[in-house]
Amino acid sequence: MTNRPTAVSTAGTTRVTTPLTVGVEEEFLLLDPATGGSLPVADRVLAALPGPARQQSRQEFRHSMVEMVTPVCTDLGELRDHLVALRRSAADAARTAGANLVAVGATPVREPHRTVPDEPRYHAMSRRFGPVAHDPAVCGCHVHVGLPDRELAVQVCNHLRPWLPIVQAITVNSPLHDGYDTGHASWRSMQLERWPSIGPTPYFTSAADYDATVAALVDAGIMLDSAMVYWYARPSTSYPTVEIRVGDVCPRVDDTVLVAALVRALVATTADDVRAGVAAPRLRGCLVAAAHWRAAHHGLDGDLIDLRAGGARPAWHLVEELVAAVTPALVRHDDLSYVLEQLARLRRDGTGAARQRRIMAATGGDVRAVLDHLTAQTVDC
C-alpha cells in the first residue's frame, strides 16, 4: 500500500504531488437475522467467499467476525468499487451460513460464543489477557496511507494527534450493547480501553524512540510482540504505510470512503508539514485521551475538545477546520467535491450512531429494526 512520491519545492517547502495510495480494512459482525445475536459461523462464511474475495479476507479474533481488505488504490472511485464488491461478496456468503453481514462497531445484543479461533497467537492472547480477550466482538475501520519512509511515518503520527478525535467522532457507529443504548456513540471505543496497548499514539522523537518504547512494552508483558501495537495511528507492521485505526466500521460504503479521503488528506498535509520543519504540538497524553473519550461519547452531536486551541467547541466547527486544513491535499487528490458532498450528507443524516438512535426512538426501542436498517445499509451501495 505505497507509491513512489514526486516532490516539488516552493518557497523552500517540499510538497509531494503524486497521489498517495490508500487501502481499507473493514471488520463486520455475523448476526442472527431472527435474534440479532452473534453467530459463530466465520469459518463457513470465509469458505463460501468466491476466490478473489477470499484472497481479500482475513480470519478475525472472534468466530462471529470477518474482515475484508481492499487492494492498494490511488483513486476514490476505485476504492469505492472494491469496498462495494467485497461487502456484497461477504454478505452473500454470510447468507449461505444463515447470518446477516452487519457493519456495526460493537456487538449490539449478545455474543454467547466468545472462544477465540484455534490459532496459537489467539490462544496466547487469551492466556495473557484473560477476560479482556473474551469481551463481545468489536469491529473497526482501518485506513492505510502509503508512506514508505518510516522516520517520516513516525513524525506524521505525532502531527495527527490533535486531529484524530475528529475522525473518531465522524465514524461513531456503536451506541448499543446488550440490547440497550449505552449513552456512548461508540461503545467499541469504550470497550477497547480495557486493552493495555490500545489508545492515542504517544509522542515519539524518532523511529528509534518508537522502536525502543515498543520493545520495552513487549519486555514488560504489555504486548506479545510489536504487532500488538494498536495505537490509533502507527507505522504499519505489515505494509509501508501509516495506519489509522481509530474508527468504528462505517455503516455505508460512502461513509468509509469519506473517512479514507480525509485520512489520506491528513497524512499528506502533515507529511508536508514534517518536510517543511513544522514541529508537532507536544500535547499532554491525558488531554488527548480526554478528547478521544469525548469524541466516542458525543460523536458529532455536541462539543468536542479542541486540542489545538484548548477548550470545548461545537463538533462541526472542528470538522470544518479539519477540512480547511487539508483542502490543498484534497484538491491534489481530486477528492474535494466528493468530501464536501458526503459531509453535507453526514450533517443532514447524522453519524451511524445518530441514525441508530433515531430508529430506536421511532420504534419504541426496537433493536431488530435497527439491525435490519444496518444490514440494508451495509450493502446499500
CB atoms within 10 A of CB 287: 15
Domains along the chain with CATH numbers: 7-379 (3.30.590.20)
* Rounded Cα gap, residues 333 and 302, in angstroms: 31
* Rounded Cα gap, residues 174 and 354, in angstroms: 10
Report pLDDT digits (tens) over 96-149: 999 999 999 999 999 998 889 989 999 999 999 999 999 999 999 999 999 999
Q: Which residues of the chain have pLDDT under 70?
A: 1-16
DSSP 227: G
Q: Are 107 and 136 a contacting pair, CB within 8 Å? A: yes
Average pLDDT along the chain:
94
Angle between helices 367-379 and 76-96 (to 10 degrees): 130
Q: Are 32 and 43 a contacting pair, CB within 8 Å? A: no
- Cell numbers 502507527 label which residue? 234
Residues 6+ apart with CB under 8 A from 223: 196, 197, 214, 217, 229
pLDDT score of 297:
98
Q: Are 67 and 55 a contacting pair, CB within 8 Å? A: no
Q: Is the dihedral of CA 292, 64, 73, 343 positive or negative?
A: negative
Quote the longest CA-to-CA distance of the chain: 63
pLDDT score of 10:
46
Q: Output the DSSP codes for 133-195.
A: GGSPPB-EEEEEEE---HHHHHHHHHHHTTTHHHHHHHH--B-EETTEE-S-SBHHHHHHTTS
